[in-house]
Structure 1
């Protein structure tokens, strides 16, 4: 062999394909490797078959993953045709296309309409609720033929009713634990689903759980799906059982992870239990995991995990940040939540509003001698009657505790009353959150240290009084500001807004 022959051999070896990727007659994705080893493909739910090929589910995420593992593979014509067809943009119905939705929202609607088992992650304020409602209308138009169940945090039920009326023109029904779902649009909370779907057999020593499967809906929308990140909870098992009977399942979240990417697994497993079948296999793909004498330990996300997840979840996951869709990002994005009062709270509030006297208990009446005092008492009663020695009953306080599970952190909770700050702090610390107070009773020498810890992500939440937090402190690290109580002091409110302005 002369020198020129050697060059030809080297060229042939250099350009040898890693293998052939194609779609078989049964619609599976297959990869016939030409290199060794190729077993790393197993981490993406591929299995070795007798015809010397790996077989796995056909989706764009798997195609991306195999291409990343074997960059010199050859794509068969069947793959090229499938990718071209899969990337075709669908046309929206006039209901969605002619709506007031922004272009990026219409893009999200197209994704939901096309992907019947998928997750929509839009940053807070970008309108994932609107997108889901218009996607339902796009699929079923004005026929009212689909039954839709929305599972959301308790604090967001009224907001869903309001948005459905605004964007769909329909009336939604809230499904409580003691009622039965009977409407086209049904809105409920996670606890109702957990209670109605899961039954504990107390007669059994093992307390085995059985799941009721009597609820059938065409569309299931799971709002703030980060609340089912724990794969072992009754809440997650109940949602999974419910989702099995639904043709369309959409998950919505502002941020689907809190610690690391392992939080995604239970959410993805509900959407596609075949592709995302093994928790630790998924976690080892995207997280730094070490096996210790006490079991597996997750230390964080892998360096390139974000980019790989973007490729691997392309077929099931759509996400946009505020910076991506709003070049001129506003200083604040406001959202008002309507929180209905419990009956006892509503009664004393109504009495104070109408007669200036609220009967807190049988032997304790609260009197407002003038209008200014009445206004103060109404703020207190709207927050929690316990502030004026009444019953400890407050939907707003419960909503704040619940919101801490799914809003972006760190959080500032603005309060008017020191007693509110003290009690909310106790409740949050009881749930293992790192919380500090910034009120009139906070020592001046400690205040800057608290702010510094907040700015350095060492605190989950600060509970602050506007009069203390409005001057001299920079709290721009805040991702969410919750106004639990509002006074009538406009300057306090204005200054508190500017403490968190970026």
Structure 2
């Protein structure tokens, strides 16, 4: 609910309200007080609907302009915050049915993708290779990102920014599922002295990306994959600014994170700005709308959250696809149990070693 703030107009209290998106085709008007005149106007709108639980009126988006024009007659008594321009532009954009030519993806990789992963690939291609894959851990974000990057292979070289612990996973996945790419063209950068001029796929750590930014910019990567993108939540950090410089040069930007920080929207802004740094206008506009941003004696406070339903609609429409394990449980392969027999047998130990092991087992 909007914060209750009253302005004086000829000695009377002036109410305020806010338009908020509820779905792709409905919005509501949240008032900070009772206005009989506003309700009279609400009842004249053809698509009106009243929720008795929340006591809030909502309408079809096609009646948005009509409602605002009628509420204009109450401007002396009621001020309304309109839907931001980026919200209207986003929901007005028609969703075209995407036909993905999966023959452009390496057959080995394409055949390994499960149905929900194919959906993720289609989403990424629909967004022209600029999106955030926010699936839970273990749902194959690596496979989906590589498939999208492979689809846009004409825009390579490809830069993969990841953690040191994930380096081996990326290298193994590329080796096993992208046989069309020679292993000699896949390189892991370990220092600023490395020659990267012939690498089709370059894997770097977040720290190495920051330290060797000029070198990476010179190479001119057309596709950028940033793994664990939630580490870029601080827009003042060197790592984020390095990512932003690379993202502005790249034609495709794929972000991967199992924890994209939906509970604190302010941490999403940096990631979303890598995908489209002009969409929200500025952090101030974003935080005012979705972080309950307000001025305090300590400065601008954007640690809260507001209008999360609307933000989730914008994310799903424009930026992000996210599935949990519960969402895709039926599509996951069954768990397999395997008994591994060790070659080394206890009898092969010396009597002294056996006695030592038995003694240790009794202490546990």
TM-score calculated relative to the size of structure 2: 0.65
Determine helix, strand or coil for the equivalent of 1:214: helix
Could you tell me how far 1:157 is from its partner in structure 2? Answer: 1.2
Matches within 5 A, 1:93-108: 93-94=102-103, 95=105, 98-108=110-120
CA distance in 2, matches of 1:370, 1:231: 63
CA distance in 2, matches of 1:168, 1:294: 52
2:176 alignment counterpart: 166
Matched, 1:90 2:103: no
2:322 alignment counterpart: 319
* Closer, same or farther: CA 41–195 of 1 in aligned 2, 3 Å: farther
Matched, 1:238 2:279: no
1:40 alignment counterpart: 81
1:180 alignment counterpart: 195
1:118 alignment counterpart: 131
Matched residue count: 276
Match of 1:216 among 220, 234, 254: 220
Which structure carries more relative contact order (alpha carbon 8 Å, separation 6+)? Answer: 2
Give per-residue Cα distances to partners, 1:45-97, cap 9 Å, x unaligned.
x3xxxxxxxxx5xxx87443xxxxxxxxxxxxxx5xx51xx330322323368
CA distance in 1, matches of 2:262, 2:42: 49
1:155 alignment counterpart: 165
CA distance in 1, matches of 2:320, 2:303: 24
2:143 alignment counterpart: 130
Match of 1:18 among 64, 69, 85: 64
* Closer, same or farther: CA 114–180 of 1 in aligned 2, 3 Å: farther
Could you tell me how far 1:176 is from its partner in structure 2? Answer: 2.3
Give per-residue Cα distances to partners, 1:417-464, cap 9 Å, x unaligned.
xxxxxxxxxxxxxxxxxxxxxxxxxxxxxxxxxxxxxxxxxxxxxxxx
Give per-residue Cα distances to partners, 1:368-394, cap 9 Å, x unaligned.
x99979xx9xxxxxxxxxxxxxxxxxx
Could you tell me how far 1:259 is from its partner in structure 2? Answer: 5.9
2:58 alignment counterpart: none
1:474 alignment counterpart: none
* Closer, same or farther: CA 370–308 of 1 in aligned 2, 3 Å: farther
Give per-residue Cα distances to partners, 1:265-304, cap 9 Å, x unaligned.
01111211111331132122222334221112345333x5
Matched, 1:271 2:275: yes
Matched, 1:292 2:305: no
* Closer, same or farther: CA 331–101 of 1 in aligned 2, 3 Å: closer
Unaligned runs of 5+ in 2: 1-40, 48-62, 337-349
CA distance in 2, matches of 1:328, 1:134: 19
Match of 1:310 among 305, 309, 312: 312
Could you tell me how far 1:325 is from its partner in structure 2? Answer: 0.9
Question: Contact conserved, 1:120 with 1:250, CA < 8 A, in 2?
Answer: yes
Could you tell me how far 1:321 is from its partner in structure 2? Answer: 0.9
Could you tell me how far 1:248 is from its partner in structure 2? Answer: 0.6
1:191 alignment counterpart: 207
Could you tell me how far 1:309 is from its partner in structure 2? Answer: 1.9
* Closer, same or farther: CA 153–332 of 1 in aligned 2, 3 Å: farther
CA distance in 2, matches of 1:122, 1:158: 20
Give per-residue Cα distances to partners, 1:137-183, cap 9 Å, x unaligned.
2333xxx7721110111221121111111121232211222313231
TM-score calculated relative to the size of structure 1: 0.48
Matches within 5 A, 1:476-491: none
Question: Contact conserved, 2:106 with 2:178, CA < 8 A, in 1?
Answer: no
* Closer, same or farther: CA 296–139 of 1 in aligned 2, 3 Å: same
CA distance in 2, matches of 1:284, 1:145: 37
Could you tell me how far 1:215 is from its partner in structure 2? Answer: 3.1
Determine helix, strand or coil for the equivalent of 1:309: helix
Could you tell me how far 1:247 is from its partner in structure 2? Answer: 0.7
Could you tell me how far 1:14 is from its partner in structure 2? Answer: 3.7
